[in-house]
C-alpha cells in the first residue's frame, strides 16, 4: 500500500470534487465508491481516526491493537472487503455520558474499523455537499468554527438585533427521518454503493449491554459520518431560510444549535412560526420549554449559545459616553463545567501526593484551551473569577496536603508560588 504524501493527494481529490459540484448544482455523482477504498484515502482516514483517539467498539479492538497487527495489513484487508462488497458494519456500542446537570447523554461508539470506513466515505462525499451548504452553517465543516459563529451572533446582536429566537431542536440526532435523509443524499449522489453504505450505517443498530436496538429514526451521535449527515439534513432549513426567512432575521446554526437574531418582536414571532413550519417538514420538533424569544433590548434577559452567554450591557467610552453592546462570556453551565474540571485536576484525594509542578503541568493545557475559546474583549471579569477559583483550589489542596485545619490559610504565598512555577492565567495579564 503506497501512502506517500496521502494528505496532499486527498486534498487534491476533495478540491476537484468540490469544484465539480460547485459548477453544477444539479450534478449527481455516480462514481464515488471507488474513491473510498483508494490507498491514500484509507491511509488518511486511519491517520484522522488515530488522531481523534477514542475507545474500542463492540469488537473490543482498539487503535493500539491495529498497530500491533500492522496498519498496512489492516487497511489492505478493509480495502479488499470494500472492493468485493463484503464490508458490513458492526452495531454501535452505546455508552451513557454524564452531563453537568446529573442526567446522562447517550453516545454511540462504532468500531475502529467502521470509523476508518466512515472517515474514508466522509472524505469522498463531504466536498460534494460542501458545495451546497450555506454561509449560516458553522458546525463540523472545514475551515469553519464555533468562534466564527459566535462572532456572527455578536455582530448581528450589536446591529439592532434586539430580539433573539433561541431554538432547541428536541432530540435531533434521535429523530432524523432516515428516508428523508436518504432522499437528500440521493439528490447529489447516484452511486448505489455509497447509498448502500450510508443505509447500512443508519440501520446497523445500537448495542447496549446485550440488547441490540435497530431504529427507523435517527443517526448515531458519536459516529464519524453523523455530523455530515446532520448537516445534509439541516441544509434544508438553511435553504428554506434563505428563501423565505431573511426578511425576519439572521439565522446562525452550529449543527443542531440554532439562533435567529431579529430586529423587533414582530419579526421574532414570524421567525419562530417559520422555523416551526420548516421543522415539521423535516419531521422534527422544537423543544416547547427550551425554545423561546429573548428580548435583548434592556439587558434584563440573555441567551446561551455554544457555551457563551449573550447579553446587552452598558459600556462607557474613555470620554465618559455611555453605549450598549453585546457582552459574550462563559455561560453558567460552562463556568460550572470548568470549575468541576479544575477541582478534579487539583483537589482530589488521589492528588495529595502529587507535586505542585505536576498539577500545573496538567492544568496549563486546559487553561490555554479555555482561554483560546472563551476569551472575548468583554469577559475579563469572568476570567478573573476563574483565576481566583484556581488559586483557592490550589490553596485548599496545599493545606490538606500539609494537614492544616484552615483550608484557606497561606493563600497569598500559594498564589505567588503557583505563578512563579509557571501556572497560566485565564485573564489577560
286: β partners: 169
- In this predicted model, what pLDDT tens digit does every residue of 219-277 receive, in sequence order? 877 889 999 999 999 999 999 999 999 999 999 999 999 999 999 999 999 999 999 99
- Where does residue 28 fall: left (phi above 0), alpha (psi -120 to 50 degrees), or beta otherwise? beta
Question: What is d(CA 41, CA 120) in angstroms, rounded to the nearest whole number?
Answer: 6
Neighbours of 331 (CB within 10 A): 20
Give me the helices (H) in 206-252, please: 226-244
Question: What is the pLDDT, as a whole number, of residue 424?
Answer: 96
Look up residue 222 and give its three cell numbers: 458519536
Question: What is the pLDDT, as a whole number, of residue 3?
Answer: 61
Question: What is the pLDDT, as a whole number, of residue 405?
Answer: 82
Confidence class of residue 428 from pLDDT cuts 50, 70 and 90? Answer: confident
Report CA-CA distances (Å) from 296 to 244, 268, 332, 377. Answer: 24, 12, 18, 19
Confidence class of residue 145 from pLDDT cuts 50, 70 and 90? Answer: very high
For residue 147, with 0-12 CB atoms within 10 Å meaning exposed, 13-18 middle and 19 or more buried, which class applies?
Answer: middle
146: β partners: none
- In this predicted model, what pLDDT tens digit does every residue of 45-75 receive, in sequence order? 999 999 998 899 999 999 999 999 999 999 9
Question: Average pLDDT for residues 287-291, to the nearest whole number?
Answer: 95
Confidence class of residue 162 from pLDDT cuts 50, 70 and 90? Answer: very high
pLDDT at residue 2 is higher than 60: no
pLDDT at residue 4 is higher than 70: no
Q: Which helix (H) or strand (E) holds 341?
A: helix 332-346
Mean pLDDT estimate for the chain: 93
Question: What is d(CA 423, CA 234) in angstroms, rounded to the nearest whole number?
Answer: 43
Question: What is the pLDDT, as a whole number, of residue 353?
Answer: 82
Question: What is the pLDDT, as a whole number, of residue 227?
Answer: 95
Q: Edge-to-edge strand order for the sheet containing 322-330?
A: 303-305, 308-316, 322-330
- Where does residue 238 fall: left (phi above 0), alpha (psi -120 to 50 degrees), or beta otherwise? alpha
- In percent, the amount of the chain with pLDDT more than 90 equals 81
Confidence class of residue 406 from pLDDT cuts 50, 70 and 90? Answer: confident
- In this predicted model, what pLDDT tens digit does every residue of 87-102 receive, in sequence order? 999 999 988 887 766 7
- In percent, the amount of the chain with pLDDT more than 70 equals 98
Q: Edge-to-edge strand order for the sheet containing 257-262?
A: 250-254, 257-262, 163-168, 292-295
For residue 400, with 0-12 CB atoms within 10 Å meaning exposed, 13-18 middle and 19 or more buried, which class applies?
Answer: middle
pLDDT at residue 14 is higher than 60: yes
Q: Do 163 and 262 meet the contact criterion of CB atoms below 8 Å apart?
A: yes
For residue 5, with 0-12 CB atoms within 10 Å meaning exposed, 13-18 middle and 19 or more buried, which class applies?
Answer: exposed
Amino acid at each position: 500500500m503506497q501512502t506517500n504524501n496521502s494528505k496532499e493527494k486527498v486534498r487534491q481529490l476533495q478540491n476537484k470534487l468540490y469544484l465539480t459540484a460547485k459548477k453544477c448544482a444539479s450534478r449527481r455523482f455516480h462514481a464515488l465508491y471507488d474513491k473510498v477504498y483508494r490507498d491514500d484515502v484509507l491511509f488518511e482516514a486511519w491517520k484522522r481516526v488515530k488522531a481523534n483517539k477514542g475507545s474500542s467498539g463492540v469488537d473490543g479492538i482498539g487503535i493500539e491493537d491495529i498497530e500491533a497487527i500492522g496498519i498496512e495489513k489492516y487497511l489492505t484487508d478493509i480495502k479488499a472487503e470494500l472492493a468485493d462488497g463484503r464490508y458490513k458494519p458492526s452495531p454501535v456500542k452505546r455508552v451513557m455520558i454524564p452531563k453537568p446537570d446529573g442526567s446522562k447523554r447517550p453516545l454511540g461508539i462504532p468500531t475502529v474499523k467502521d470509523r476508518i470506513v466512515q472517515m474514508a466515505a466522509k472524505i469522498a462525499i463531504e466536498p460534494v455537499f460542501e458545495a451546497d451548504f450555506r454561509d449560516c452553517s458553522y458546525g463540523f465543516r472545514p475551515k469553519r468554527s464555533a468562534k466564527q459563529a459566535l462572532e456572527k451572533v455578536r455582530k448581528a446582536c450589536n446591529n439592532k438585533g434586539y430580539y433573539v429566537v433561541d431554538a432547541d431542536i428536541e432530540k435531533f440526532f434521535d429523530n432524523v427521518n432516515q428516508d428523508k435523509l436518504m432522499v437528500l443524499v440521493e439528490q447529489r449522489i447516484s452511486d448505489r454503493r455509497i447509498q448502500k453504505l450510508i443505509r447500512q450505517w443508519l440501520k446497523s443498530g445500537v448495542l447496549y449491554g446485550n440488547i441490540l436496538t435497530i431504529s427507523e429514526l435517527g443517526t448515531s451521535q458519536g459516529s464519524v459520518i453523523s455530523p455530515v449527515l446532520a448537516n445534509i439534513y439541516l441544509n434544508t432549513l438553511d435553504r428554506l431560510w434563505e428563501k423565505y426567512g431573511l426578511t425576519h432575521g439572521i439565522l446562525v446554526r452550529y449543527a443542531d444549535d440554532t439562533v435567529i437574531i431579529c430586529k423587533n418582536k414582530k419579526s421574532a414571532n414570524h421567525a419562530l412560526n417559520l422555523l416551526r413550519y420548516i421543522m415539521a417538514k423535516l419531521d422534527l420538533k422544537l423543544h416547547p420549554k427550551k425554545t423561546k424569544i429573548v428580548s435583548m433590548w434592556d439587558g434584563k434577559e440573555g441567551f446561551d449559545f455554544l457555551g457563551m452567554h449573550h447579553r446587552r450591557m452598558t459600556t462607557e467610552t474613555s470620554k465618559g459616553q455611555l453605549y450598549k453592546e453585546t457582552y459574550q462570556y462563559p455561560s453558567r453551565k460552562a463556568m460550572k463545567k470548568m470549575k468541576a474540571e479544575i477541582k478534579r485536576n487539583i483537589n482530589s484525594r488521589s492528588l495529595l501526593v502529587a507535586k505542585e509542578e505536576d498539577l500545573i503541568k496538567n492544568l496549563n493545557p486546559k487553561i490555554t484551551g479555555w482561554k483560546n475559546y472563551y476569551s472575548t474583549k468583554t469577559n475579563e471579569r469572568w476570567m478573573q473569577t476563574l483565576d481566583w477559583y484556581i488559586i483557592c483550589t490550589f490553596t485548599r489542596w496545599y493545606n490538606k496536603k500539609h494537614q492544616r485545619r484552615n483550608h484557606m490559610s497561606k493563600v497569598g504565598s500559594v498564589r505567588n508560588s503557583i505563578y512563579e512555577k509557571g501556572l497560566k492565567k485565564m485573564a489577560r495579564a
